[in-house]
Structure 1
């Protein structure tokens, strides 16, 4: 599995601009938006047609476990399902705690980067 790429953004508008640029180079099925709040994640994803990390990415078993996890554990599990290591997931979850928006890309073509 190819390691996912990501970038952290302080605003929704920056994340939206980055996603719109990515859509010209990357299959939209491989672009994910993650925030600390499900409603916030859905709003950004809806603006850009980006994906959220759901049952398709995590599988049924992890999705059921996420119902009983605290938010931090749930976010780390979702990040790990995208291909981030446990340490990377912990770091990214701490950034989400600060209100950042994370744009992640799986299976990115070589030479593609996330730009705001």
Structure 2
């Protein structure tokens, strides 16, 4: 099951992550997205959550993202952890407004 949440800041993200952990989600399967990569990296580091990488996306998709726009990269990563194309596009629009998107999934 994949859960998508939108929050305003890192404090709200921390609260939501704690709730997700009580529901059985592992921090290895909780991902925080921000429009700016540095912000996402800082928040993932601070909250000990996971960035979407080769494990979730696969080698070819990860390499492709090196040459695409940030928006395309974010949508691709969100799709690789369980969102549909439409959900990823909607979530990316929220990122454009400065919000954070949290996606949690349980491995199959």
Structure 1 length-normalised TM: 0.84
Aligned with 2:16 (options 15, 18, 32): 18
Q: CA RMSD in A?
A: 1.5
How many residues were matched structurally? 106
1:10 and 1:47 mapped to 2: Cα distance? Answer: 16
| Structure 1 residues without counterparts, runs of 5 or longer | 109-116
1:5 maps to what in 2? Answer: 3
1:30 and 1:19 mapped to 2: Cα distance? Answer: 11
2:67 counterpart of 1:65: no
How far 1:39 sits from its partner (Å)?
1.1
Q: Is the 1:34–1:41 Cα contact (8 Å) retained in structure 2?
A: yes
2:21 and 2:3 mapped to 1: Cα distance? Answer: 14
How far 1:47 sits from its partner (Å)?
1.4
1:93 and 1:75 mapped to 2: Cα distance? Answer: 7
How far 1:22 sits from its partner (Å)?
2.3
How far 1:74 sits from its partner (Å)?
0.7
Structure 2 length-normalised TM: 0.90
Q: Secondary structure at the match of 2:83?
A: coil
Q: Deviations over 1:35-86 (max 9, x none)?
A: 1111111111111111111111111101110011011111111111111111
1:96 maps to what in 2? Answer: 95
